[in-house]
Structure 1
């Protein structure tokens, strides 16, 4: 089966690199085929040429942002430094390019219409009739051009190339204003490269195999050309390498050279996608069309990616982590969590095995109704080397999560609780160690006599969207003996991203410390509990923030890194060696040795 990604590149062809270049990646006949990874890989290739790259994700839905989505709808909600709740693809951009984006790098139909309506209410259109064309399309173009020039690096340098991913599929009613906006946009820039993504497949009953068929690609390209966008590069997502005859047929009917038909077949890891594009001459194509000087083709970044991909393929030892959550039927619900685990496993030269466990399956109610499912869930938990309880919302499955936490605490199994996972660890400890049988969060039991987790009214004014404690906040370590502090490099404070409405009740913290559960990290004001650690345990850590959002392939998140070290039995030796202070440098040393 082949799926293709239509990628449109807009740029001004000038000898100087000062002019902004734009790359638009669009979809074909179906969505969810990897446009985000393709866009991130294109950015990685351009960054390897020494360019400053930024990225924009366009989502045609009317929602203002992704904050109120169910994870089963669009996957996880990714949180940025400024508190923006955005599409998970922005997480791919940040991880691949090692940049920090802001909320306006995620454009939605809701944001565009809201901006235009606000201008109309102010009278900015001077009594004109406000229409999709030109007002909505102009607003889209203005937003893109403005956002593309905002620095995403710490050095404050303005980006030179902006990769734009347009979500959805060709022909969607929701996408039409954006397609029209970019049809107009291409005439403001002298050169355009368009990369469509299409679908090739047909089930051959005689051989029970998928055959590579080009008709869906032809139809998709025909429709795009009818809307005013013509492809320059066609990136084909497929299970196996694209046959030469198929490439030639696409070339003939889609008006591109065979070298402009790029095959992105299934590979062992996402680290190989930029390498796959490089092997097919995409770097040289970009350098030629973007008029990049030869000396800028350093390729150092791609060398790093090749080393990571090669190491990932050669891993033999395996470490398993039980992910106990509410949305385990869709792995995209925990994309950043899985990536953070992968980064950490790669750092210690282990292959990651994630055991997905629906927390509700661990509860006694499941034992009565579906005993097989109950025993399978517990078998997965008991066979794992470590336990992770990620963030989430709602009461369903919370008792099962606390059962998993209780098991990890009693069995001295490495445990990491993130956001809700930390809050439930406090509830479990209160119930089973302090003896407060009804201890709970007011989110689940407002009438509890022992509300160990309470809400933050100032962040919950009656609306769901954008009303939580969001974005980058500082956590102060209160003791030098903290395991997590050592993993962070013995720093006094860390800045991590938050997304929560509830917090541990600070008035009750002294009860926990007496029994060995210490709050070793607090916010700047000392009012909110940010990090918990259990003494006399191999690794029992909870964090109120979401460290997975800032994890990088060569700089894994310290809380996840500690979990994997403990699960592999290497934490104590690592701590004894001083933690190497800089995890990134330590990893680069490992890369060189391998």
Structure 2
């Protein structure tokens, strides 16, 4: 008996040794997962063994604030020393947001790699101070395109391609792959991925994604997956009582689809009553600490603080086994300082935003944020006066004189004028009128993209006496094409993103206000977004919704023209390989000398020296135009230099700022200890980031 027991013990011991040896070779301690095998895990600090995924879903209504909450969660975790990335899922069938109408979907945000994505990715970049790529925006169109391409290549070996498992597997693979892409300057692989699922639970478009994450939670294991559900708690004015039924129904529907929320974040106008929180806890099967109140606050900068004060960090630490301290570090103190500073602002600075899409503020989301960042940096409260450019035109005076005079009253009473980018001829004459007024009255002015091009047109008409000066985009037959379709050779490797994304701009003179605002650097790298038509090789192409004259001008030779319900369709033969080129609207380089002689200087160019990127006007407090979109890289603690210059000039502080070497002076209102490390510290956190190292 003893011999047999000894043999059995010896066999078991050898088996354990083999398992340990194999586990060591595989780089994994497989035996340590067994609770019966002794291991001093408790003596070691907690480590993130694998990627942590936080899924943010929404219920009841769309536009409830999932993007801000997802960004705030990421900000809290980053303040604890973790590397955080973010993914936005949009269930629409579009490949990307590049063709969206600003009225329908708001701003199109442009990334470094040229990706045209949802504006929520702008929130992620601003809150987390990271650089995302186009693959961080996942759409139904991208997933289906990827799966169909695989099917065409034969990757599925003749199988019937279905939503489950092929689409759902593709979603999971995409998320796992993109979550590992570094987004910080230190090029370190992220530890936490925050995923926002657009729309609301129950939408038919979202079903494949919900099913994908139902499977995904088991694939990555419970300790690596967490679900935050954002729901609305309405408070009807008739009763004043906070209603929980919409949240109960939303959570019930989410559970029916296979996902159980770990945190329920309740959007409400006022703080949740304890009785309401307990009711949600009871009916939604979560602990009271898992019900988080996200009520309306004075500034979005307070949302991370609001979540942190309710113990979100401690919950994540326990739920996901994160290696973090329970108290966030210095980064969150900066957010508190910004929030307190924002609430104390007294002086006001008004900016007239002259655009086409002023009825929908999300159309200029990044522009507004860039203005807010700059206003906060100079201790001024921002007032944006939205001016529809069409209301400034003479034709409006005849049709609706009240709107005409109201628009001009807003424009004339503003401290500064901003003309942002845009497309199309509608409202351009009104923008030119606003630019002319800013130039003549010496009002601080900033023109972005189309705004810069129209500033060139205005100066040519009124100072060079070229009355028909225009862009060939709007008048192909003008005798003075100051902004032209500029063909350029396309070697093929850049594809459709030739003038999208981050590009370098070279300052050709040291006598430049904008160069000084950037920190007196030789070059900067900013994001561009030029609309162009690509003349590719082979086959036919189709042009939609251009008028016939522009279609003929752009497309070389129209073959077929069809008009259906007022929409023009035309086809043309694409250019041959030897003539492969792109068209992009840029300042005509052959005419720049005429402008420079009159004090209208082109101080910045692209690397090749062909495209005029930055303009400045002599003998003017601040008259600047840029071909790129600096608002896309503005951050709360690193405001965009062109926008900062506009606010400084509008507040009358630009000369002093430049004399001090582009440093902001401390204010007494900042030194109350509300998050600052020392009472007499300067606004060092708000000084401009030097771009010389980029």
SS of 2:81 mapped into structure 1? coil
Q: Which ranges in structure 2 are unaligned for 5 or more consecutive residues? A: 1-32, 34-40, 532-584, 667-679, 687-694
1:111–1:323: structure 2 CA closer, same or farther, 3 Å change rule?
same
Taking the aligned partners of 2:626 and 2:661, their CA distance within structure 1 comes to 22
Post-superposition offset of 1:294: 5.0
Taking the aligned partners of 1:52 and 1:202, their CA distance within structure 2 comes to 38
Aligned pairs for 1:323-472 within 5 A:
323-457=353-487, 469-472=499-502
Match of 1:519 among 602, 605, 627: 602
Taking the aligned partners of 2:665 and 2:490, their CA distance within structure 1 comes to 38
Decide whether the 8 Å contact of 1:363 with 1:400 is kept in 2: yes
**Counterpart position of 2:230:** 197
Post-superposition offset of 1:588: 7.4
SS of 2:228 mapped into structure 1? coil
**Counterpart position of 1:487:** 517
SS of 2:604 mapped into structure 1? strand
Whether 2:166 is the aligned partner of 1:73: answer: no
Aligned pairs for 1:274-289 within 5 A:
274-289=304-319
Decide whether the 8 Å contact of 1:322 with 1:384 is kept in 2: yes
Q: Which ranges in structure 1 are unaligned for 5 or more consecutive residues? A: 1-11
The worse-fitting range, judged by mean Cα deviation, of 489-498 and 243-252 is 243-252
Taking the aligned partners of 1:523 and 1:249, their CA distance within structure 2 comes to 61
Post-superposition offset of 1:217: 0.7
SS of 2:204 mapped into structure 1? coil
**Counterpart position of 2:682:** 589
> How many residues align structurally?
574
SS of 1:93 mapped into structure 2? helix
Taking the aligned partners of 2:590 and 2:75, their CA distance within structure 1 comes to 48
Whether 2:275 is the aligned partner of 1:182: answer: no
Taking the aligned partners of 1:582 and 1:441, their CA distance within structure 2 comes to 42
Aligned CA RMSD, in angstroms, stands at: 2.2
Whichever of the two has the greater Rg, that structure is 2
Post-superposition offset of 1:161: 0.1
Decide whether the 8 Å contact of 1:48 with 1:297 is kept in 2: no
**Counterpart position of 2:129:** 98
**Counterpart position of 1:7:** none
Match of 2:338 among 282, 285, 308: 308
Whether 2:184 is the aligned partner of 1:153: answer: yes
Decide whether the 8 Å contact of 1:459 with 1:468 is kept in 2: no
Post-superposition offset of 1:196: 1.6
Decide whether the 8 Å contact of 1:318 with 1:353 is kept in 2: yes
1:588–1:139: structure 2 CA closer, same or farther, 3 Å change rule?
farther
Taking the aligned partners of 2:148 and 2:363, their CA distance within structure 1 comes to 33
Whether 2:576 is the aligned partner of 1:576: answer: no
Q: Cα deviations across residues 123-172 of structure 1 (Å, max 9, x unaligned)?
A: 00001011100000000000000000000012111000000000011111
Taking the aligned partners of 2:685 and 2:459, their CA distance within structure 1 comes to 44
1:389–1:166: structure 2 CA closer, same or farther, 3 Å change rule?
same
1:132–1:588: structure 2 CA closer, same or farther, 3 Å change rule?
farther
Post-superposition offset of 1:74: 1.1
Taking the aligned partners of 1:459 and 1:301, their CA distance within structure 2 comes to 46
**Counterpart position of 2:56:** 25
Q: Cα deviations across residues 162-196 of structure 1 (Å, max 9, x unaligned)?
A: 00000011111110100000000000122243222
Whether 2:335 is the aligned partner of 1:252: answer: no
Decide whether the 8 Å contact of 1:489 with 1:582 is kept in 2: no
Post-superposition offset of 1:581: 10
Match of 2:296 among 235, 251, 266: 266
SS of 1:203 mapped into structure 2? coil
Q: Cα deviations across residues 388-429 of structure 1 (Å, max 9, x unaligned)?
A: 000001111100000000000000000000000000000000
Decide whether the 8 Å contact of 1:50 with 1:296 is kept in 2: no
Whether 2:271 is the aligned partner of 1:241: answer: yes
The structure showing larger relative contact order (alpha-carbon pairs under 8 Å, at least 6 residues apart) is: 1
Q: Cα deviations across residues 67-98 of structure 1 (Å, max 9, x unaligned)?
A: 00011111100000000000000000000000
SS of 1:271 mapped into structure 2? helix
Decide whether the 8 Å contact of 2:76 with 2:328 is kept in 1: no
Using the size of structure 1 for normalisation, the TM-score is 0.93
**Counterpart position of 2:507:** 477
Taking the aligned partners of 2:66 and 2:682, their CA distance within structure 1 comes to 33
1:298–1:201: structure 2 CA closer, same or farther, 3 Å change rule?
closer
